[in-house]
Structure 1
Amino acid sequence: MVCVSGRHQLGAGVSAPTRLAQTESAELFYRVDGEPIPLQLQADAIAVVFTEPPAARGHPPIPLYRRLQADLQGTRGDAVTVHPVGTDYAIVTLPRGSRSSRSTLIERVQRPYVDAILPVLSCCDRNEQILLPNEIIVSFEPDTTPAQRQVILAAQGLTAIRPLQFSDDRVLARLIELDHDTAVLTATERLHATTGVRSATPNFIQVRAPLEPPMQPPLSPSPAQFAARSRRPANLRTLAWYLDSTRLHPNLENRGVKAPAAWTLGSRGEGITVAVLDTFTQWDHPALQTNTYELPAPCPSAWPEKLAAGTLSTMTPIPASKPTSWPFCGPPFRARLLCPMQPCWRSMTPGSPGSDRTIQRQQMPRLPPIFADQIQAQVVNEFHGTQVAGVIAAHGQSDTAFTGVAPAARILPVRIGDISSGPMLAASVEAIAYAAERGADVINMSWGMLPATEIAAVITQALEDNPDLVIVASSGNFGDGEVSFPASLPAVVAVGASTLNGHRAPYSSFGPGLTLVAPGGVIQSHPTSGILTTGGTVTPGFWQGMPLPTQPWSWTQDPQGTYIWTQGTSFSSPIVAGIVALMQSADQDRSLSRDRIVELLTAAASHGPLTLTDEERDRYQTLATQTNTPATAPALTYFFGSGLVDAAEAVRLVQATD
């Protein structure tokens, strides 16, 4: 790894950098808390950034990634694959074994609607791709002045794009000139060696591998499974075995979290707000619409003219009559910034993809007319936030209706990306601070990302400023002995996944740092072994111009997708977030600190319903000889943390403490 010698002086020029530039021929890396994280440049792939498509009349425009795929098919050279990343990006990949060069691929994709070409990186041997846009998050030391910060950026050849909202000392910046593919990494390393800069991280865009096993179930269930789900049972709550599995399997040990027993103790999450930092949340789903966070009234607006026009941009100029210290504003102004973000714009978060063009419900993806056999998984997965929210706080109007873990809690939806790209780094930093500023009691993060100093810092600050705030995150779906970031942070409750049979779900990451487990399901064996939750395709507008389906498609429980079956630590995490809401609601005078809530949560968990497989026992014996496995951690703890969470016992412990 290339070493850094010395530190630049404030405002020093960049003509003579003190380290080797990170080019294609050099080692590539970025830093987390000063430690280098190695990266690899993918030789068989590039990413493209699309220009804004022109407005279409009468019909939606053809997606630009499909247009690029069609255009490339008509050119000489190997057939390539174009994979969309949201609406603004796409990854173009050469076929395996291709003799074409990366430079040739760059020449082939030059089109009027292609605005820029980005390198594609990888990290840590994970089956994910990383896009490197010309954006860097720069965190300044608190004692630097705005003028000094401008000097620092200019000296490094950077210009500010915008300040990060709800963050006093961070800006998003870009290089004025890019002299090589990975110049952003070079500039980031120079910033680390600059006085006045606390940290700097490229604003990576992580891309999940499409249809990555074992998480992605087959898109076409069997005819028998279709028929079984078409006969929708009257009692959906019974199918939600993760609440209480004895309702579905009365002769088996309870592998659910005993939420109904917690409700009988008088706690259903009343008065608690759970922020869901995720993809699109269908806030007007019948089981969610009355549980969504509402702003107090009256709420003055900082930009009434923008709201009236139907737009709210993070780049909106501050009127002259308002405070002008936008990058480093104080609490009074922050309160004004919160107000314009009305619940009707629940799919938008400050800094989210497309936030400079308000994300409206009308822009949600549309299903093709023929959907029964070949529906695209990303259409369903775009509503990942809806599914997570349903697990937490869906509210049924009867004893047989589908109900989440904490049906009286409120959901604060905050969009930070889409399912193909995963969470955007800058958006995630802003979203965590935003949720804390809104007064969320619990933050759920059903995602993982590359380790980043800025995420760790904003979580630390949010917890310091809000002593009762609990942050819960999924351990990851890589099935290995390393808990994903940010769940791996000590102050975050890291949740793995268990199955209806009491085993660790095969995809669930484990190891040091795992707090406990909750049901995550395994849908491949049978839908009812997965997690039933709210789907996002129930609203009539989604099906506009198409005949309504007459049978379930993909893994929906009913034809229109009111409810859907899924799996993953993404759904174990919100189960625990919901249980934390039950605990906080039971603590009526809010006398228990975050640390005490987490202590009682883990004390209520048990290994009793859980079982190790022979493979896991053998794996543990092998790992136990290695230094990275604590000798004091029993095998059950290594794979399950404190065990399977128990909502009823957790609430009882809270009530006994009061």
Structure 2
Amino acid sequence: MKRAISAMLALAATCSSTLAVSASMPTVDYTVFGHTLPLQVKSEAIAITWNPTEANAYQMPDDLEDFVRSHNLIIQSTGQHHAILTALSGPLTDTSLNALRNHSQVASVQSVLHSPWATGTAKPSATSTLLLTDELIVQVDPSLSATALEVKLQRVGLELVRPLRFAESQYVVRSRSQHGPELLNTAQRLRQFSGIISAEPNMMQASVATVNLPSASQPVEISRLPHTKPNADTSLQQTAWHLDSRHYRGNRLPRTDIHATEAWEISNRGAGVNVAVIDSTIQWDHPDLINQLACPNISADTALPDETCGYDFVEADGDTRLSEAEIEILKPKFQDSFRLSDQQLLANYPGLVQMLGDMRSSEKARIIRGYLRYQVEVNFHGTWTAGVITANSPGDGLIGVAPDAKILPVRVFDLAGFTSTERLIEATGYAAARGVDVINLSLGSLIPSEAFTHHLFDLLDRYPNLVIVASAGNSNLDGVGFPAAIPGVLSVGATTLDGERASYSTYGGQLDIVAPGGDLWLGARGGILTTGGTWLPELWEGLSIPQSAWGYGVDPLGKYVRVEGTSFAAPNVAGVVALMRGEDVGSRLSREELLERLLATASHEALSLSESDHKHYRLQKELGFGTVFDIPFVRRSGIYEPSAPIDAEQYYFGAGVVNALQAVESVQKKF
């Protein structure tokens, strides 16, 4: 297994080295599984943590905010007492950096990095942003005592913070004096000590819930895509083509859905099965989700603070919904996007206006309006994911893939879309410890982590029936992203209503299976229908309800949305696994047996390759190299070198599109 991960990282290192040479940014070296991945330092940005006050933890103290703005820096909150500061033009000056480091309210300053190999482009984006904190995650041999560990840490200027919960022999440690790139060198030194298995930064990184400001060269965003209205006699559920595509494709064309509706007729629809959704905000009080919570029986001595049904590892409480404090952060900008005129909007957001450069004022206002709304919409990524799996409307709403299964909501992403290695380890360990049958990780492409990889291996060994499903990534690259690439994790790519590979979906090496992920360029009907979160009354207080849908919304409030991404292909598969496990009372099938049946019943029958994919496959097959994504960026084919040539269908679709009906029947026939 370690060799497989090492092969993946060797390819990533090759790609990133090419990019580092082609870009002008300075780099620092991140070492994982013995491979060095150059990360680019974003010289125009810095992250800070401020000392806690009695005010809203997400709100920077007024005098510090005034100080930051006096240096012409844009503030992006990335969590409690934390923000990224970006210069409006050019790199941050030494004067600004020193002033921030010496400010009485600034607790620490962190470097902001860019991982180009994760997204296939040398151009920085929110989805590839990393924050280098002053902490490390250290895994030790189980025989090494905490006292012995502290002695080793002291030798390199580190101190023990705490052991990670729900993990084996992993600790958070902190530097006493070293910061940023210096800490990477310290991690290297620490790895040389006996008893130390791994040492790496407790990296904060953006994945699912990230926001990029559109530019003049990207004039089309989701708010401009057509919103198709179903006929008067068409129910909302009928437009969920990923469950049954016949409403759109008729009976003559092959079905491109997962055959969920037929699976419901012969199964218990996932009853008795719990699925952990590890994601961003999960607004479980949505009418179609409120009765779907898994509430494990836990003793007082093992419960986390305020734990009831799931856990929020961002705010450290038992509620994965937006808190009052978070709503107060999101609400003003959200309301500005509806209430302000174009002229008022431009006057209120001069930093964004400057970033957009030279374009018509009306176009700037339109882009900023959509950007402000998207910042709120995308925080409900976890709500979108949960709805795909197990929505169960009491009325005329939505039904998910496994409507009688329950979800354990687990939040790891903050308002700005950042998570950390620490949160991911504890959240997955927590979910497994609470007895879930399936873990869904719609996480995109994270930076590889030895600590997280070792941890997932431990979970898979400790819980032999646990199935972990992860999205393959939206980078349109050959070779799935992390953590989907970890052996033992089921990786899922995305297909469209037309039965083609979604243009964004990662493919090739280590791709296991595909499922509908949507394609909004086909119009609103091309998206995956699921539950939204912007319907919250607190967000609309004092506003008039829009006359029509906006953004991803199907309705004016955004109670339902249509979305796209491998993030929504993965929960389709997680839901099918729940349907299968629901027929396996007592979990008699091992994980390997269950997945063997899942893959064996998948099919390429309704799938077709685009002309572009045909040509790319021909190139890969004949010349032996993969995606030419952004010259001179070249990513080789796959994580594994295939032992034998694979056909084009397997290259792009893995085992094929998941089939809930046949998968359920396969389990039933076993017993």
- TM-score, normalized by the shorter chain, greater than 0.5: yes
Match of 2:405 in 1: 409
1:31 aligns with 2:42: no
- Asked whether the 8 Å contact 2:376–2:534 carries over to 1, the reply is no
1:555 aligns with 2:552: yes
Deviation at 1:454, TM superposition (A): 1.2
Q: Which moved more, 1:519-528 or 1:496-505?
A: 519-528
The sequence identity of aligned pairs, in percent, is 34
1:243 aligns with 2:235: no
- Asked whether the 8 Å contact 2:307–2:318 carries over to 1, the reply is no
State TM-score, norm by structure 1. 0.82
User: Distance in 1 between the 2:438 and 2:220 partners?
Assistant: 30
- Asked whether the 8 Å contact 2:335–2:540 carries over to 1, the reply is no
Match of 2:4 in 1: none
Q: How many residues align?
A: 581
Question: AA paired with 1:39?
Answer: L
- Asked whether the 8 Å contact 1:137–1:173 carries over to 2, the reply is yes
Match of 1:163 in 2: 163
**Matches for 1:368-383 after TM superposition, within 5 Å:** 368-372=334-338, 373-374=369-370, 375-383=372-380
Question: AA paired with 1:460?
Answer: F
Q: Which moved more, 1:251-260 or 1:442-451?
A: 251-260
Could you list the per-position Cα deviations for residues 166-217 of structure 1 after superposition, in whole angstroms to 9, with x for gaps in the alignment?
1241111110112x54121011111111112111110111135633889997
- Asked whether the 8 Å contact 1:278–1:415 carries over to 2, the reply is yes
Match of residue 442, structure 1, among 438, 441, 444: 438
Match of 1:363 in 2: 325
Match of 2:607 in 1: 610
User: Distance in 2 between the 1:401 and 1:217 partners?
Assistant: 30
1:103 aligns with 2:94: yes
**Matches for 1:479-518 after TM superposition, within 5 Å:** 479-518=476-515
Match of 2:645 in 1: 632
User: Distance in 2 between the 1:263 and 1:212 partners?
Assistant: 42
Match of 2:354 in 1: none
Alpha carbons of structure 1 residues 102 and 220: separation in structure 2 relative to 1, 3 Å: same
Match of 1:584 in 2: 581
Deviation at 1:548, TM superposition (A): 4.5
Alpha carbons of structure 1 residues 81 and 339: separation in structure 2 relative to 1, 3 Å: closer
User: Distance in 1 between the 2:93 and 2:41 partners?
Assistant: 11
Deviation at 1:80, TM superposition (A): 4.6
Match of 1:288 in 2: 289
Match of 2:565 in 1: 568
Deviation at 1:232, TM superposition (A): 8.3
Could you list the per-position Cα deviations for residues 103-129 of structure 1 after superposition, in whole angstroms to 9, with x for gaps in the alignment?
244146565543322112222443412
- Asked whether the 8 Å contact 1:300–1:339 carries over to 2, the reply is no
Alpha carbons of structure 1 residues 53 and 477: separation in structure 2 relative to 1, 3 Å: farther
- Asked whether the 8 Å contact 1:205–1:421 carries over to 2, the reply is no
User: Distance in 1 between the 2:163 and 2:587 partners?
Assistant: 35
User: Distance in 2 between the 1:220 and 1:300 partners?
Assistant: 47
Alpha carbons of structure 1 residues 233 and 422: separation in structure 2 relative to 1, 3 Å: farther
- Asked whether the 8 Å contact 1:140–1:199 carries over to 2, the reply is yes
- Asked whether the 8 Å contact 2:507–2:651 carries over to 1, the reply is yes
User: Distance in 2 between the 1:358 and 1:249 partners?
Assistant: 40
State TM-score, norm by structure 2. 0.80
Deviation at 1:42, TM superposition (A): 2.6
User: Distance in 1 between the 2:232 and 2:280 partners?
Assistant: 27
Could you list the per-position Cα deviations for residues 543-576 of structure 1 after superposition, in whole angstroms to 9, with x for gaps in the alignment?
3454554532322112222111111100000000
User: Distance in 1 between the 2:665 and 2:62 partners?
Assistant: 55
**Matches for 1:21-420 after TM superposition, within 5 Å:** 28-55=28-55, 63-64=59-60, 72=68, 74-75=70-71, 80-95=73-88, 98=90, 100=91, 102-107=93-98, 109=100, 111-125=103-117, 126=119, 127=125, 128-178=128-178, 181-207=180-206, 210-211=211-212, 218-221=221-224, 225=227, 228=229, 235-251=235-251, 252-296=253-297, 299-302=298-301, 336-337=302-303, 341-343=307-309, 346=310, 348=312, 352-355=313-316, 361-365=323-327, 366-367=330-331, 368-372=334-338, 373-374=369-370, 375-397=372-394, 401-418=397-414, 420=416
Could you list the per-position Cα deviations for residues 588-621 of structure 1 after superposition, in whole angstroms to 9, with x for gaps in the alignment?
2422110111111111111111111111111112
Gaps spanning 5+ residues in structure 1: where?
Answer: 1-23, 303-335
User: Distance in 1 between the 2:62 and 2:551 partners?
Assistant: 23
Deviation at 1:29, TM superposition (A): 2.3
User: Distance in 1 between the 2:480 and 2:337 partners?
Assistant: 36
Q: Which moved more, 1:133-142 or 1:370-379?
A: 370-379
Could you list the per-position Cα deviations for residues 305-330 of structure 1 after superposition, in whole angstroms to 9, with x for gaps in the alignment?
xxxxxxxxxxxxxxxxxxxxxxxxxx
Q: Please give the secondary structure, in 1, of the residue aligned with 2:205.
A: strand
User: Distance in 2 between the 1:612 and 1:253 partners?
Assistant: 14
- Asked whether the 8 Å contact 2:512–2:654 carries over to 1, the reply is yes
Match of 2:630 in 1: none
Deviation at 1:136, TM superposition (A): 0.4
User: Distance in 2 between the 1:172 and 1:216 partners?
Assistant: 44
1:461 aligns with 2:451: no
User: Distance in 1 between the 2:656 and 2:490 partners?
Assistant: 13
1:543 aligns with 2:540: yes
- Asked whether the 8 Å contact 2:25–2:42 carries over to 1, the reply is no
Q: Which moved more, 1:206-215 or 1:138-147?
A: 206-215
User: Distance in 2 between the 1:446 and 1:149 partners?
Assistant: 34
- Asked whether the 8 Å contact 2:242–2:516 carries over to 1, the reply is yes
Match of 2:520 in 1: 523
Could you list the per-position Cα deviations for residues 226-266 of structure 1 after superposition, in whole angstroms to 9, with x for gaps in the alignment?
x848x987611111110011123314321110100101112
Could you list the per-position Cα deviations for residues 617-637 of structure 1 after superposition, in whole angstroms to 9, with x for gaps in the alignment?
111122222265435211111
Alpha carbons of structure 1 residues 68 and 236: separation in structure 2 relative to 1, 3 Å: farther
Could you list the per-position Cα deviations for residues 445-484 of structure 1 after superposition, in whole angstroms to 9, with x for gaps in the alignment?
0003111111111111111111111000000011111200
User: Distance in 1 between the 2:664 and 2:76 partners?
Assistant: 46
Question: AA paired with 2:274?
Answer: T
Gaps spanning 5+ residues in structure 2: where?
Answer: 1-23, 120-124, 339-368, 626-635
- Asked whether the 8 Å contact 1:65–1:84 carries over to 2, the reply is no
Could you list the per-position Cα deviations for residues 140-162 of structure 1 after superposition, in whole angstroms to 9, with x for gaps in the alignment?
11001222122122222111222
- For the aligned residue pairs, the C-alpha RMSD in angstroms reads 3.0
User: Distance in 2 between the 1:176 and 1:166 partners?
Assistant: 26
- Asked whether the 8 Å contact 2:112–2:129 carries over to 1, the reply is yes
User: Distance in 1 between the 2:614 and 2:485 partners?
Assistant: 23
Deviation at 1:55, TM superposition (A): 2.4
Alpha carbons of structure 1 residues 212 and 577: separation in structure 2 relative to 1, 3 Å: farther
User: Distance in 2 between the 1:239 and 1:603 partners?
Assistant: 28
Deviation at 1:644, TM superposition (A): 0.9
Alpha carbons of structure 1 residues 248 and 617: separation in structure 2 relative to 1, 3 Å: closer
Deviation at 1:34, TM superposition (A): 3.0
User: Distance in 2 between the 1:493 and 1:362 partners?
Assistant: 36
User: Distance in 2 between the 1:654 and 1:36 partners?
Assistant: 44
- Asked whether the 8 Å contact 1:215–1:567 carries over to 2, the reply is no
- Asked whether the 8 Å contact 1:429–1:458 carries over to 2, the reply is yes
